[in-house]
């Protein structure tokens, strides 16, 4: 275990991870420190690499959808949707409106549940353990909705190329409305507990500032990029599914510090709630799945589809040579690009700041390693 350069006087290095409470998984950061001040951060990846992209080359398109759950497990539905949209693009099938709306609703619920978990963990990383359980209380309601409609709470596998695996549960609309009503009263509590807390603000304001230029050049997307003023919401720029028919604001901030990333996510939760409200009563009647062949074969060519997960831009690039499985498949995961900014923004910060930065980058390690 060596660093590229020999250590200078008063410097030492420390391994943060692969087993560390605040790396949320098996991320290993090699820190070069001077006292408590960080001089360099070197992420080491590969502890949970499962060669998902290689596995995809052997699988049929329907099987690939299920594998994508295991990448960003907190946005599993949105990952599935990305693959399905790419395949549907190749198949050139007409997707029923009902499917589009249901997909969008579940995507937004997924985004909310991911942000709730992030919010809870963010508080916990900064030492306010109570927020963790508050976040989980509200997330539980979404998980119950998923369990009833999709049959699973985390890795839902609800999408298949051409539509949905089955129709929504009769309780789905009512439970979602109950959740919206409940969460509208609870979201202000999030502000009371953390956002307005002076210690929390001091811990996050001015910490880990990412400039707009850096955000663009590192490819930081999602709330991380948007907090730096880089408008990159795929739902706005390249609308898919039912996003063209809803009105919502892209949550933007221009400060780029941890607090900006925090407040962008809080704003996104409000926007997601508003999207849900617009769609939940307007699910059109119709088929829940377009007719597709039992064995899906894509025509020769390459297909790219991007979707906005809770963490940023998720891209699926399929190169097909006309068989039932892809010739080559590449995922563009948002976490990987977002992680790459860490050295840039945490130099000169303290160890405690690094924890706040890691937390606001909202990393899911299986998404980075794939």
Partner 1 sequence: MNIYDFTGLTQSIHESLSNSLSPTMVTVVEFTIVALIFMTFFTFLGLVLVYAERKVAAFFQLRLGPMRVGFWGTAQTIADAVKLVMKEPLVTKNADKFLFNLAPFIVIISTIMALGAMPFAKGLHALDFDIGILYVAAVSSLGVIGILIAGWSSDNKYSLIGAMRSGAQLVSYELSVGLSLLTIVVLAGSLQFSEIIASQEAGWWIFRGHIPAFIAFVIFMIAGTAETNRGPFDLAEAESELTAGFHTEYSGLKFSFFFLAEFVNMFIIAGIGATVFFGGWMPFHIGDWSGFNRVMDFIPGIFWFFGKVTFIIFMMMWFKWTFPRLRIDQVLTLEWKYLLPINLVNLLLMAFIVLMGWHF
Binding site for partner 1 (CB under 8 A): 12, 14, 20-22, 36, 123-130, 132-134, 137, 193-194, 197, 199-200, 202-203, 350-353, 355
CB 139 to partner 1: min, Å: 13
Rounded CA-CA distance 278/288 in Å is 20
Residue closer to partner 1 by CB (options 41, 168) is: 41
**Cβ 135 to partner 1 shortest distance, Å:** 11
Cβ–Cβ under 8 Å, residues 123 and 258: no
Q: Is 313 helix (H, G, I), strand (E, B) or coil?
A: strand
Beta carbons of 226 and 233 less than 8 angstroms apart: yes
- Asked if residue 367 lies in contact with residue 79, where contact means CB atoms within 8 angstroms, the answer is no
Q: How far apart are CA 88 and CA 171, in angstroms?
A: 29
Q: What angle do CA 361, 194, 146 make, to 5 degrees?
A: 65
Q: Which is nearer to partner 1, 169 or 186 (CB)?
A: 186
Query: Whose structure tokens read 């009833």?
Result: 148
Q: Report, in Å, the least distance between residue 202 CB and partner 1.
A: 6
Comparing C-alpha atoms, which of 244, 293, 287 is closest to residue 96? 287
Give the nearer residue to partner 1 in terms of CB position, either 36 or 94: 36
Alpha carbons 217 and 229: distance in angstroms, whole number? 13
Q: Is 319 or 352 the residue whose CB approaches partner 1 more closely?
A: 352
Name the token pair of 240.
């898919």
Give whichever of 155 and 197 is closer to partner 1, judged by the CB atom. 197
Q: Least distance (Å) from partner 1 to the CB of residue 101?
A: 33
Q: How far is the CB of 1 from partner 1 (least distance, A)?
A: 13
């Amino acid at each position: 275990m060596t660093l590229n350069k020999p250590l200078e006087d008063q410097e030492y290095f420390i391994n943060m991870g692969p087993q560390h409470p605040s790396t949320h998984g098996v991320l290993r950061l090699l820190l070069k420190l001077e006292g408590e001040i960080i001089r360099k951060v070197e992420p080491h990846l590969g502890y949970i690499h499962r060669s998902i992209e290689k596995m995809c080359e052997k699988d049929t398109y329907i099987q690939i959808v299920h594998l994508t759950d295991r990448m960003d497990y907190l946005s599993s539905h949105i990952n599935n949707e990305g693959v399905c949209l790419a395949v549907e693009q190749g198949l050139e099938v007409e997707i029923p409106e009902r499917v589009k709306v249901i997909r969008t609703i579940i995507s937004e619920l997924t985004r909310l549940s991911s942000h709730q978990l992030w919010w809870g963990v963010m508080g916990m990383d900064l030492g306010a353990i109570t927020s963790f359980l508050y976040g989980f209380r509200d997330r539980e309601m979404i998980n119950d909705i998923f369990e009833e409609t999709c049959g699973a709470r985390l890795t839902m596998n609800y999408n298949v190329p051409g539509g949905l695996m089955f129709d929504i549960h009769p309780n789905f609309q009512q439970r979602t409305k109950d959740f919206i009503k409940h969460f509208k009263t609870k979201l202000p509590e999030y502000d009371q507990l953390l956002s307005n807390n002076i210690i929390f603000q001091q811990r996050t304001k001015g910490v880990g500032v990412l400039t707009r230029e850096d955000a663009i050049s590192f490819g930081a997307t999602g709330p991380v990029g948007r907090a730096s003023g880089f408008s990159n919401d795929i739902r706005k720029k390249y609308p898919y599914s039912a996003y063209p028919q809803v009105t919502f604001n892209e949550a933007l901030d221009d400060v780029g510090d941890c607090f900006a990333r925090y407040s962008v996510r809080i704003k996104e939760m409000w926007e997601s709630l508003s999207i849900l409200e617009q769609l939940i009563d307007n699910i059109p009647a119709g088929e829940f799945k377009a007719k597709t062949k039992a064995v899906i074969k894509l025509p020769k060519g390459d297909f790219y589809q991007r979707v906005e997960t809770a963490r940023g831009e998720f891209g699926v690039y399929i190169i097909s040579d006309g068989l039932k499985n892809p010739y080559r498949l590449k995922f563009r995961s948002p976490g990987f690009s977002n992680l790459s900014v860490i050295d840039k923004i945490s130099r000169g910060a303290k160890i405690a700041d690094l924890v706040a930065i890691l937390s606001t980058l909202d990393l899911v390690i299986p998404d980075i390693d794939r």
